[in-house]
Structure 1
Amino acid sequence: MTSRDVPITSSELANLWMTFQEKTMIIRMLEHFIEHADNAEKQLLLTHYNNASKAIDIIKGIFQQEEAVIPIGFTESDVQKGVPKLFDYLFDIMYLHMMTKVEMSLYSLFCGMSYRKDINDFFINLTAEAQEINCQATQFLLEKGVLVRPAFVSMPKEVHFVENKNYRNSFNLFSETRSLNTIEVSLIHHAIETNLVGMQLMIGFAQVASNKDVQNYLVKGMKLSKKIEIDLGEFLRQSYIEPPATHAGKATTSKIPPFSDKLMMYNTSLLTSFGLGSNALGGAFSLRNDLPAKMALLAKDIFTFAQDGGKIMIKNGWMEEPPQIEDRNQLTK
């Protein structure tokens, strides 16, 4: 018996379905970016575009073999060709850098939830592809001088163990708050870096959204990204570290939408979910109790924002329903 003779599990079906949604969305985004890209950027964008297209074909093949309906995802109707570019200098690679971070996290998780060998191999390959593109995008942006490295620090010369209970305590009025450790700095830097790109994405999306509810929602997303950047940046400043910033990747003044409202809402939803996960990770690994407290407050805001977005998507018929488990309760009625 080959692996393809084994039916796919509920988790494998769910993960393939989610990957189909994400991949069909990102190729629509890349189509707009590729249309306006310089030669230096275009090759990297095309590589990820071709990888995504192959992944979509593989998923379609698995669904056809299993006699499952192929999802709709995002189609050519969700992107408008021949319109002015919505984002300026190097935003396309900054977006790619951010989205491959999301993909690396998703596909690594999906690997651990896959049991059929061909599907497990599929997600292992997707993880490797995302890692490779992320590495290339990182080096590209560093060479262009638009990606800020995290703070450099002196290398430790001795091993220490925490002895003072105040190591975790930042609310004690009678003791000085300790500086951030390197784990905390890395998590804060990552969150700020991601939200800087997310904020520009929300600005661009908001100025071309056709639906007024969507436009207002995306403006809220812009303000939320700014709040996260400011609040977390203050932790770095207290330790005399400047938060990351960049002069590149701004939204243009174009008001002509290259993307459908449905696509922009889904992209925002995906990044919001990623933001919730990143906040949870930041809170869990911080050993200074004021940082998890701030992360928890921000997580509440992000969760509320995600809930509001879901309502808008459902109201407009934009939320494709994931495969459903049979309702066994109906048998007892």
Structure 2
Amino acid sequence: MEADHQTRLTASEIAALWSSCQNNSMGVCVFTYFLENVDDADVKSILKYALKTSERALSQSKDILKENKQPIPVGFSVEDVSPDAPRLYSDTYYLYYIKNMAKVGLSVYGVALATTAKSTVRAFLSQAIESSTDLYNKTADLLLSKGLFVRPPYVSTPDDVDFVDNKNYRGGLLSRNVRPANVIEITHVHANIETNIVGQALLVGLAQVAKSQKVRDYCSKGKEIAKKHVKLFSNILMDDDIPAPIPSDIVVSDSTVTPFSDKLIMFHSSLLISSSISNYATASAASLRTDINTTYIRLLTEIAKYANDGVNIMINNSWLEEPPQPANHEQLTHL
């Protein structure tokens, strides 16, 4: 049990709550707009649950920060969304989007919980993980019921367990006799294909509606990067005669009326990039085949540069909110 005396929030606890405020304030804006442009009653129910989840997490994280006398980030508000803007994405896309964002939530909240001591913050993060799990399961069930869930590939596996006894198992960059990808490598490749397809469609729409030409160009560049990565990952599977996932009915309309502020668009893009960087790093560490491992490392370098370009756009427009940081004691001594 936590000690009776009042404990301050640690750096990691402040970071988790601060990020939750930012991310969920964006989520409230996005889901509010989606709800104004949805036809399918089942999809609408999932969107309502997603909105409620984001609103609750936003309120709870703000309350904990206030109780501990910490500043509340500005984040996003009604000024950053136009719910009455025309539809930009299909109902089916909403499901793929929510499924992906639920996965992001599970990852972010899980990492945060493992670095947290204070009981109130752990309780908040534990509930957030439970809500993200529930949201994922609800979305997965609906996708399955509609025949839209893109399953990872089925593969034939040997009957017996074996051990690697040859260094050639890792292969080489120029090796012609490379082994087929194992199930762990297939899992990560499949997941990254699907994530990039969802991100690509999102950026297609955002590139159409952003007000600033620089933001439009940035989203267009991200769309091309995602398209290229989908092709590279798909080739890894197809070279082993494994089908690549192809989500269906991901439709982007021809609307050019923006539902979101450019500030929100850039933040959303940044969140997707951060998720991709984390996914690629994890996949690289888990991939024993040299060519696959090296592909992730190469692509990480590309998206890190793309992310840096986005940060510069946000800084130039005063859109990048500065995370809390400790006092600069060296600077204070020279006042």
Q: TM-score, normalised by structure 2?
A: 0.96
Note the C-alpha offset of 1:9: 1.2
Question: What corresponds to 1:201 in structure 2?
Answer: 202
Q: Secondary structure at the match of 1:28?
A: helix
Using the TM superposition, name which of 6-15 and 137-146 deviates more. 137-146
**Which residue pairs with 2:329 in the alignment?**
328
Percent sequence identity over aligned pairs = 33
Q: Output the CA distance in 2 between the equivalents of 1:61 and 1:7.
A: 15
Match of 1:34 in 2: 35
What is aligned with 1:105? 107
Q: Segments of 4+ in structure 1 off by > 3 A? A: 1-4, 170-173
1:95-174 matches, within 5 Å, as: 95-171=97-173, 173=175
Contact 1:3 1:117 in 2 (8 A): no
C-alpha contact (below 8 Å) 2:99/2:136 kept by paired residues: yes
| C-alpha distance in 1 between matches for 2:153 and 2:253 | 30
Residues in 1 aligned to 2:5 and 2:129: alpha-carbon distance in whole angstroms: 21
Distance 1:10 1:207 in 2: 39
Amino acid in the other structure paired with 1:75: S
Aligned equivalents of 1:247 and 1:328: distance in 2? 55
Measure the CA separation in 2 of the matches of 1:109 and 1:81.
33
Question: Is contact 1:187-1:282 (8 Å) kept?
Answer: yes
**Which runs of 5 or more residues in structure 2 are unaligned?**
none
One-letter amino acid of the structure 2 residue matched with residue 8 of structure 1: L
Q: Is the 8 A contact 1:170 1:178 kept in 2?
A: no
> How far 1:147 moved relative to its partner?
2.6
Residue 300 (structure 2) aligns with: 299
Q: Secondary structure at the match of 2:327?
A: coil
What do the CA deviations read for 1:121-149 (whole angstroms, capped 9, x no partner)? Answer: 11011011101111111121122222321
Q: Which residue type is aligned with residue 230 of structure 1? A: K
**Does the C-alpha gap of structure 1 residues 139 and 331 become closer, same or farther in structure 2, counting only changes over 3 Å?**
same
Distance 1:30 1:219 in 2: 23
Distance 1:204 1:4 in 2: 51
Per-residue displacement from partner, 1:91-121 (whole Å, max 9, x unpaired)?
1111111111111000000101111001011
Aligned residues: 332
CA–CA distance in structure 2, aligned partners of residues 136 and 82 of structure 1: 27
What's the CA shift for 1:176?
1.2
Shift of 1:3: 6.7
1:66 pairs, out of 46, 56, 68, with: 68
The offset of 1:59, in angstroms, is 1.7
Residues 160-239 of structure 1 aligned to structure 2 (within 5 Å): 160-171=162-173, 173=175, 176-239=177-240
* 3-state SS of 2:36 partner: helix
* Aligned-partner SS, 1:90: helix
Pick which of 244-253 and 309-318 moved more: 244-253
Question: Closer, same or farther in 2 for the Cα pair 1:153/1:21, shift >3 Å?
Answer: same
Conservation of the 8 A alpha-carbon contact between 1:3 and 1:118:
no
Distance 1:256 1:227 in 2: 27
Q: Which amino acid aligns with 1:319?
A: L
- Long gaps (5+) in structure 1: none
Are the equivalent residues in 2 in contact too, given 1:60–1:70 (CA < 8 A)? yes
Return closer, same or farther for 1:31/1:164 CA change in 2, 3 Å cut-off: same
1:138-167 per-position Cα deviation (integer Å, ceiling 9, x unaligned): 121122222321111224410100112211
SS in 2 for 1:36: coil
Tell me the residue number matched to 1:87.
Answer: 89
| Alpha-carbon offset, residue 35 of structure 1 | 1.0
Superposed CA RMSD? 1.5
